[in-house]
Copies of this chain bind each other. A is one copy, B any other.
C-alpha cells in the first residue's frame, strides 16, 4: 500500500541524510508522526524554503545531462561564490543533490528519489 512504501533516503531516520536508509516515510496526512520524524521532514522542507536553492534545482534540472558544474551555477546566480557553495552544501547534506568531482570541477545533480519522497509525505 502507498502508506508503507520503502523510503530510500532516510527522511525519517536518524542517519546522515546523504546516505541511503532502510525506512519508510509516513505520509503527513495519514499517519501519526513522532517528534523526530516531524523535525526531520521539516528540516528538508526548510532547505526548499529558499528561492536561491529552488533556483539551483531549477537550473540543474534544465541541463540535458541533469548535472552542472558549480562554477556555472555561480555565474548564473546573482550571489557570491561562497554563498552558492554554502547552498550547494546544505542541499547535498539534505540528500537533495549528488556531488561528484571530475578533475578540476565538481558536478552537482538532483536526487529525484528524494523529491519523490517529499511528494509522498504530502500525499
A positions within 8 Å CB-CB of B: 28-30, 32-33, 35, 38-39, 41-51, 53-55, 57-58, 61-62, 110, 112, 115-116, 118-119, 122-123
Decide if B32 touches A62 in the complex (CB within 8 Å).
Answer: yes
Could you tell me the distance in whole angstroms from the C-beta of A44 to the nearest C-beta in chain B? 8
> What is the oligomeric copy number?
2
Closest partner residue, chain B, to A115 (CB atom)? B122
Q: Decide yes or no: A58 and B45 within 8 Å by CB, A51-B39, A118-B122, A119-B122 being known contacts.
A: no
Contact check: which of B28, B35, B38, B43 meets A61 at CB < 8 Å?
B28
Decide if A29 touches B41 in the complex (CB within 8 Å).
Answer: no
Could you tell me the distance in whole angstroms from the C-beta of A84 to the nearest C-beta in chain B? 15
- A29 CA to B118 CA, complexed, in Å: 14
